């Protein structure tokens, strides 16, 4: 594979120019042309019009980027073995010197976007079209940005001495006109959910969160949501959130009001010593399913209707270490899934570490649903 010689796209020289009368319209009307000062790419998500949202924990900002891609009718099958080595080779380095941060599919073009950090701290954005890896230009582009209010301090550490700033943005999603961001703040109750209207303004809603952790047997306000999605549960829009070690918690979106401290309803304990890595919803034959990728457990499938019909709330500790409780799930035969996203209405794409050690990017059909 040819080396991609475009790390210069992340140059720190910014070019600012307001859009003129012939500039973008719709959700991109407020975009400027220039080079966003992106310091990290911890989370990716797509919104309408092919707009890519980038969560940057280092600068505590969210960027909206115009990908300038067009809609295609159907997605192609994807299969790239040793994906980390292919990416590293494309960047002129080795796999041990990069870390893959997140993955998101552009619903218009079906291109798979991947954020990568080099060991020297340089963030790089790539995309996969078919089975080809390409660099994404991040200079002289249309974009807008918003700073996160009151993010966790850069110097903050947990009790084990680990830096917490990486969790200023732990996950990111777009839902019905808002960019939703989970992470840590400087509030007394650090676990925070933000809803930011888009196009960006100075308005920003944030709620502090509290959950019951059935594996720990206690209420908690510190740990951030690690992966979430927003969808209708029954007829009501909900935030479905996964936390480390591994409670699954739901919040009706209408309860997440500015400045409020909100208790979620724990609907499942999925087994501790595990972290949820990614979460999507897929539909088949009128049924909606939640798919959860995990650090130490198999890919999980949960019927959203089972969440809707689960009227209880886990408020007591599970009795046996690593046992589960609450809403039922099925462990699918995919282990070590690191990234996950919806490719189209009948396919999803996974980044999976195989038993051979190969890190493979591939698409799979909804027959698993």
Tokens 């089972």 -> residue:
306
Tens-place pLDDT, residues 194-233: 999 999 988 999 999 999 999 999 999 999 999 999 999 9
Residue 304: the pLDDT is 98
Tokens of 276: 């949820």
**Residues 198, 173: one domain?**
yes
Kindly report which listed range (10-24, 196-210, 321-335, 350-364) carries the lowest average pLDDT score: 10-24
**Residues 214, 313: one domain?**
yes
Residue 26: the pLDDT is 86
> Does residue 241 lie within any of the structural domains?
yes
Do the beta carbons of residue 264 and residue 324 sit within 8 Å? no
pLDDT band at 24 (very low <50, low <70, confident <90, very high): low
Residue 73: the pLDDT is 85
Domain interval for residue 8: 1-13+38-147
* SS3 readout for 325-338: EECCCEECCCCCEE
Residue 202: the pLDDT is 84
Residue 346: the pLDDT is 94
**Residues 218, 140: one domain?**
no
Tens-place pLDDT, residues 63-121: 999 999 999 988 989 999 999 999 999 999 999 999 999 999 999 999 999 999 999 99
Return the higher-pLDDT residue of 20 and 105: 105
**Residues 201, 306: one domain?**
yes
What's the predicted TM-score (pTM) here? 0.92
> Does residue 354 lie within any of the structural domains?
no
> Does residue 191 lie within any of the structural domains?
yes
Task: Give the pLDDT mean for 15-27.
Answer: 48
Percentage of the chain with pLDDT > 70?
A: 93
> Does residue 360 lie within any of the structural domains?
no
Q: State how many domains the chain has.
A: 2
Tens-place pLDDT, residues 267-290: 999 999 999 999 999 999 999 999
Rounded to whole angstroms, the Cα distance separating 155 from 111 reads 37
Backbone angles phi, psi at 49, to 5 degrees: 60, 25
Backbone angles phi, psi at 162, to 5 degrees: -85, 140
> Does residue 200 lie within any of the structural domains?
yes
Is the link from the previous residue into 82 a cis peptide, with omega within 30 of 0?
no
> Does residue 231 lie within any of the structural domains?
yes
User: Is pLDDT above 50 for 8?
Assistant: no
User: Is pLDDT above 80 for 11?
Assistant: no
**49, 50, 76, 113, 283 from 107: Cα distances, Å:** 9, 7, 13, 11, 15
pLDDT band at 25 (very low <50, low <70, confident <90, very high): low
**Residues 3, 125: one domain?**
yes
> Does residue 226 lie within any of the structural domains?
yes
**Residues 140, 286: one domain?**
no
DSSP string, 70-127: ---SSPPP-EETTHHHHHHHHTTS-GGGEEEEEEEE-TTT--EEEEEEETTS-EEEEE
Do the beta carbons of residue 256 and residue 239 sit within 8 Å? yes
Percentage of the chain with pLDDT > 90?
A: 88
**Bridge partners, 98 (sequence order):** 118
Task: Give the pLDDT mean for 342-346.
Answer: 95
């Amino acid at each position: 594979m040819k080396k991609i010689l475009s790390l210069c796209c992340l140059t720190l020289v910014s070019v600012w120019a307001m859009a003129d009368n012939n500039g973008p319209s719709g959700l991109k009307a407020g975009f400027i042309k220039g080079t966003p000062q992106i310091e990290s790419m911890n989370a990716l998500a797509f919104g309408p019009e092919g707009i890519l949202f980038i969560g940057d924990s280092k600068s505590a900002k969210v960027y909206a980027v115009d990908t300038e891609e067009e809609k295609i009718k159907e997605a192609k099958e994807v299969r790239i073995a040793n994906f980390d080595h292919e990416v590293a080779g494309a960047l002129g380095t080795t796999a041990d010197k990069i870390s893959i941060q997140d993955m998101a599919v552009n619903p218009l073009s079906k291109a798979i976007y991947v954020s990568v950090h080099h060991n020297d701290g340089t963030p790089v954005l790539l995309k996969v079209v078919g089975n080809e890896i390409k660099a994404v230009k991040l200079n002289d582009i249309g974009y807008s940005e918003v700073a996160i209010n009151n993010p966790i301090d850069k110097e903050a550490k947990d009790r084990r001495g680990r830096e917490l700033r990486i969790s200023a943005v732990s996950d990111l999603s777009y839902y019905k006109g808002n960019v939703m961001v989970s992470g840590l703040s400087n509030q007394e109750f650090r676990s925070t959910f933000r809803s930011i209207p888009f196009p960006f303004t100075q308005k920003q809603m944030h709620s502090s969160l509290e959950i019951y952790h059935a594996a720990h047997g206690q209420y908690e306000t510190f740990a951030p949501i690690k992966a979430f999605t927003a969808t209708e549960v029954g007829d009501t829009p909900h935030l479905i959130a996964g936390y480390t070690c591994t409670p699954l918690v739901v919040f009706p979106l209408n309860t997440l009001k500015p400045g409020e401290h909100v208790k979620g309803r724990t609907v499942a304990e999925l087994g501790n010593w595990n972290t949820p890595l990614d979460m999507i919803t897929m539909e088949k034959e009128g049924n909606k399913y939640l798919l959860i990728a995990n650090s130490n457990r198999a890919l999980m499938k949960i019927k959203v209707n089972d969440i809707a019909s689960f009227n209880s709330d886990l408020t007591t500790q599970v009795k046996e270490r690593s046992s589960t409780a609450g809403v039922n799930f099925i462990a699918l035969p995919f282990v070590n899934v690191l990234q996950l996203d919806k490719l189209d209405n009948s396919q999803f794409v996974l980044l999976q570490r195989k038993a051979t050690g190969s890190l493979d990017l591939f698409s799979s059909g909804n027959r698993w649903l």
